[in-house]
Structure 1
Amino acid sequence: MREETTVPNRQKVILGALLIFLVGANMRTAITIIPPILTNIQNTFSLPEWFLGSLTTIPLICFGILSPTVTYFIKRFGILSVTVVDLLLLTVGNFIRVYSFTSLLVGTILIGGGIAMLNVLAPTLVSYLFPMKIGTYTGMYVFALSLSSSISAGFSAVVSHLITWQIMIQFVSVIPVITIVVALMLRRYGRKKPAVKETANPLNPKVQVSVWKRPLAWALGGFMGLQSLLFYSILTWLPPILMASGINQNTAGYLLGLLQLVALPISFVVPRIISSVAKQSIMIWTISVLFVIGIGSLMLASQSFWFAVAACVLLGLSTNMAFSEAMTLFSLKTRNPNETASASGMGQSIGYILAATGPMICGWLHGLTTNWFAVLIFLLLVTAVMTFVGLLVDREEYVFE
């Protein structure tokens, strides 16, 4: 990988921190802005009902397919150059998807590809720019991700009534454009330094056994996938589950917003805690207990509205903590940016392909049983497997060892 810059002085630290924050802000906004305005999009393009779900499924599939390719591009062109090109894809995809059904499909694919690469680039950038402060800067992009997701999901419907949904979506393209400017400014500093020539050394994944042959990498991918499966299943089906418990549609939407908002206060803190301890077993058990109590509270939502509130709070905490754990582990279990990119690319490929099956399995189970109890039992079983896999991850120190 061409080393384009390091972060040795205050100005570069500020630019590096701003870049990581903005990368986090780009990681979900283009997806979470869509669900509240699905009806607007459907009416504009006369879309069939079945296609609407693909607007979130297509990016997940792109996450799984494209994540492993990022490592090659980083090694070939350098991490900041890849970041800039990736953000250009995201900008173009977001801007063009408002004009027709074809442009909507092409734009969604470009967005899926762009965010797939950002998912790998984010932990790699942290390892590259701030290797001694992994927890702090992982927390920064997780916080930015949670904040931007909450804002885009919570206000997209309201804003679309004021300026039309097309203008609103195109306006979101401003975020990746600003991020490109910051990345180019940071990259400019590196031109004063000679490129670091790659040499065969024991820490370079190019001379290591393939990441696909490393047991710990598979365990990381399994943990990433199972926590993602839980998150996307809950995100997709929480409102119908709450409505089946007697809660009206608007209130169910507010509770979904609560699930996303409750994670904000801890999203910056949890990665710092994770990176400060040698073993992760306590955190993994804590996440699992929160999931179990949260899902159990959903089972009791028909008994009291406050069980529904408790479920959303607990599931908001557990999903955010699990995501923070997964993303931080990619950096903690590797020793340089090349290794981080390799492990993250493989892990997220496995993870998001697995995650894409979750909402479909839940929908199939509900159709088969005509109630949500079987779905919640399935989520409890996934939580148990996630706990087991997470404890396996904790047994080994590094992927390439």
Structure 2
Amino acid sequence: MNFRTVFAVVTVVAFGLCLRLLFGSTSALTSDIAAFYSADSVSMALLTTGPVIILGVCAAVAGYLLRRARVTHVLVGCLIVIAFGTAVRAVPSWPVLVAGTLVAAAGIAVANVLGPVLVRVIVREWSLQERPDGREWSLQERPDWQESPAVSARRLGLLTGVLTAVISASAGVASGFSVPLTESLDGAWRWALGLWAVPVVIAVLCMALLSRMFARAGSSPAMSGAVGSHGGSGVLRSPVAWAVTAFMGVQSLMAYSLIAWLPTIYQDRGVDPAASGLLLTALSVSSVVTALTVPNVATRLPRQSVLAVAVVLPTVVGLLGVLSSADSWALLWAVLLGLGQGGQLSLAMTLMNLRAATARDAASLSSMAQTVGYVLAACGPLVCGAVHSATQRWEPSVLFLLVMTVPMAVAGAVAGRRAFYGVDVRRKACVRGS
């Protein structure tokens, strides 16, 4: 790998880190926020469920933006929006806190959709930089992205794994460090919320520099707005697209429900707030293992149906553990939940590329999966919170999540079949595992 490729991977890491810091930091400090503003459960839903709804509503904007700007340019704008929304949470005002959270979520919504597209673009640029004799391809000599299927598949799996691993870990990083950061700031939790804008600013600089580096090298069509120019209603008529969407939606419902409520569940059982926050950190850190490995496995399999069912099983065991109230094993349950979550998210993002014929189709499929998927995901924290309010117990909420693992496994099995979305599908040109 040359310097440009290495820097692209670094940028992917910085980018992925910014996509869940907002949620993890809010989750860890929910009790402090509610106590300071005397907020009831309905008001707090604006901070727990509101951002997830925004993820679904604003994800559809990604295709529109890609028709008018390069992928990296759109992502620079998204990261600036995320940084601004995160920073203003330090202002001592409930309306500003809510508005900043929702604004940041809007930026995350578009960035989520473009994550798989960015991976595909970087893999293509990575391949186009190389010749067998070590010389760089000229613009006239550059082959189609899929002329080296085995190499492209490995790189696609590797970079998707890196991105999803960082995304999965970022919520836990924010959750685990927000309480200690607040304590180091003498209880100034608002500053702790606002300071999470710092890593986002770093990501803005990295993405802007990456965009400039690619532009100087001579941008390929995949880097331009043409990525988002195809799609329309075709994706809505594709069974495999709906299967990927359902899998993405239910795994997101599971993930955001756990991010929003897992620390609170254990705090209500008498666990120290800092320790309960570290459970979410353990969940996120363990998710890195499957986030890194599952995409590499998926791109080597002719079908991913069995793998999709396999990544659901750790979540089933973990939820059964939480349901059992065996709090002495809480760390183990968190690790199992993390292993499931990392595998599910990374497989969903990998399928967005494997089931699509071109980068344009990947953008359309990603937009649909995350628009519909995150609207569905918003139901998770809302239902869990409502059921708890009605019963004053967390067991029914956990049971609801356990039941949702069934449609997730079914959707994953269907999405894992060898079928494709896109009018330009050429089976002989598709990467192995697609």
Please state which band the TM-score falls in when normalised by the shorter chain.
0.7 to 0.9
Q: Which of 154, 159, 175 is equivalent to 2:181?
A: 159
Q: Which amino acid aligns with 1:114?
A: G
Cα shift readout 1:179-235 (whole Å, capped 9, x = no counterpart): 22222222223444666679xxxx986277532222221111111111111222233
Q: 1:45 to 1:380 in 2, by over 3 A?
A: closer
Structure 2 CA distance for partners of 1:242 and 1:97, relative to 1, 3 Å: closer
Q: Is the 8 A contact 1:205 1:339 kept in 2?
A: no
After superposition, the C-alpha distances for 1:229-275 in whole angstroms (9 at most, x for unaligned) are 1222233343455567x653445444333222322333322222222
Q: Residues 131-170 of structure 1: matches in 2 within 5 Å?
A: 131=124, 132=152, 133-163=155-185, 164-170=188-194
**The residue matched to 2:311 in structure 1 has which SS?**
helix
Change (3 A) 1:249 1:331: same
Q: 1:261 to 1:247 in 2, by over 3 A?
A: farther
Distance (Å, rounded) in 2 between the aligned partners of 1:381 and 1:357 = 14
Instruction: Give matches, 1:101-112, under 5 Å.
Output: 101-112=94-105
Match of 2:405?
A: 383
Report the equivalent of 1:114.
107
Report if the CA contact (8 A) 2:24-2:174 is conserved: yes
Going from structure 1 to structure 2, the CA distance change for 1:366 and 1:125 (only over 3 Å counts) comes to: same
Out of 242, 260, 267, the residue aligned to residue 218 of structure 1 is 242
Q: Which moved more, 1:99-108 or 1:35-44?
A: 35-44
Unaligned runs of 5+ residues in structure 2 are: 125-151, 424-434
**Of the candidates 25, 33, 38, which is equivalent to residue 33 of structure 1?**
25
* Preserved contact between residue 262 and residue 280 of structure 2 (Cα < 8 Å): yes
Aligned partner of residue 397 in structure 1, secondary structure: coil
Identify the residue that residue 6 of structure 1 maps to in structure 2: none
1:15 equivalent in structure 2: 7
From 239, 243, 248, give the equivalent of 2:271: 248
TM-score (norm 2): 0.81
- Equivalent in the alignment of 1:347: 369
Partner of 1:297: 321
Match runs of 1:318-357 below 5 Å = 318-357=340-379
- Seen in structure 2, the aligned counterparts of structure 1 residues 150 and 374 have a Cα distance that, compared at 3 Å, is closer
Report the AA paired with residue 320 of structure 1.
G
Question: What is the rounded CA distance, in whole Å, between the counterparts of 2:207 and 2:335 in structure 1?
Answer: 36
Task: Say yes or no: does 1:394 pair with 2:424.
Answer: no
**Which of 193, 196, 200 pairs up with 1:172?**
196
Pairing 1:350-365 to 2, within 5 Å after superposition: 350-365=372-387
1:270 is aligned to 294
More moved, 268-277 vs 362-371: 362-371
**Aligned residues of 1:136 and 1:272 also touching (Cα < 8 A):** yes
Figure out how many residues of one structure are paired with residues of the other and give that number.
Answer: 386
Query: Offset of 1:334 from its aligned partner?
Result: 1.5
The one-letter code of the counterpart of 2:179 is A
**SS of equivalent residue, structure 1 residue 143:** helix
The verdict on how the C-alpha distance between 1:364 and 1:333 changes in structure 2, with shifts beyond 3 A counting, is: same
Task: Letter of the 1:248 partner, please give it.
Answer: V
User: Residue by residue, what CA displacement relative to the aligned partner does 1:118-142 show, whole Å, maximum 9, x if unpaired?
Assistant: 1111111001111421111111112
Long gaps (5+) in structure 1 = 1-8
TM-score for the superposition, normalised by structure 1: 0.87
